[in-house]
Structure 1
């Protein structure tokens, strides 16, 4: 296990201790870290899911980058850990549909939403 993974495990335990995530969510993250740690050499073509939430005048509200290998857990954790993401209207998106698209090889822009009522733009893409 790499030092980086050990640090990530400690961060997960601290989030449980602080009540930011449940023990079940922590177990999912541990499993994802274990799967990720088995690939010691990072792939050059590793992809990231990027979530950008901004105001209508493009002032950033939330920027989240999640490795594709952790996307299932990462999106749930991001919503739990970052209240701005939860309040941004991101909950209105079908997360399962996004995850399925990514698993099926989707690249580029996946979601592009303009919520005029909330005066928010949401962009989700794979890079």
Structure 2
């Protein structure tokens, strides 16, 4: 974990954007992420993979890969800043999949109006 990342988290605590407990969780997640990258932890790292593709061309337009540890913390912090997202069915499905340790495709949404398909995997 770089000192720049650590300083950013400490500033968020100082400004009251997050609590000290949330800051500690973020620091722990960053440390864990660094260990996973270096191969220091047992087993493989778990990732949340989000894919958005165009229905007409079949081309992938968005590809996002996030470590599960950061996703858990991000969902908790995000609910604090955007309370209306907490009741969303997709967010509830995602939270349930994460807590139950599921893997594979957990969400597959087709938006005919926008011509997009959103797939979310846990690996």
The TM-score with structure 1 as length reference comes to 0.60
- CA shift, 1:47, in A, is 0.7
- CA shift, 1:119, in A, is 0.8
Comparing 92-101 with 115-124, greater Cα deviation is found at: 92-101
Q: Work out which of the residue numbers 96, 115, 119 in structure 2 matches 1:119.
A: 115
Instruction: Give the number of the structure whose alpha-carbon radius of gyration is greater.
Output: 2
Q: Which runs of 5+ in 1 are unaligned?
A: 17-21, 79-91
Q: Work out which of the residue numbers 1, 6, 20 in structure 1 matches 2:3.
A: 6
Comparing 114-123 with 30-39, greater Cα deviation is found at: 30-39
Task: Tell me if 1:45 matches 2:39.
Answer: no
Distance, in Å, in 2 between the alignment partners of 1:123 and 1:13 is 34
Indicate how the Cα distance of structure 1 residues 75 and 64 shifts in structure 2: closer, same or farther if over 3 A, else same: farther
Moved over 4 A (4+): 10-14, 75-78
Indicate how the Cα distance of structure 1 residues 93 and 62 shifts in structure 2: closer, same or farther if over 3 A, else same: farther
- CA shift, 1:107, in A, is 0.5
Q: Which runs of 5+ in 2 are unaligned?
A: 79-87
RMSD (CA atoms): 3.4
- CA shift, 1:76, in A, is 7.7
Q: How many residues of Structure 1 are paired with residues of Structure 2 in the alignment? A: 105
Q: Work out which of the residue numbers 97, 101, 109 in structure 2 matches 1:101.
A: 97
Indicate how the Cα distance of structure 1 residues 122 and 11 shifts in structure 2: closer, same or farther if over 3 A, else same: farther
Cross-structure match for 1:65? 65
The TM-score with structure 2 as length reference comes to 0.62
8 Å contact 2:51–2:120 — kept in the other structure?
Answer: yes
Cross-structure match for 2:84? none
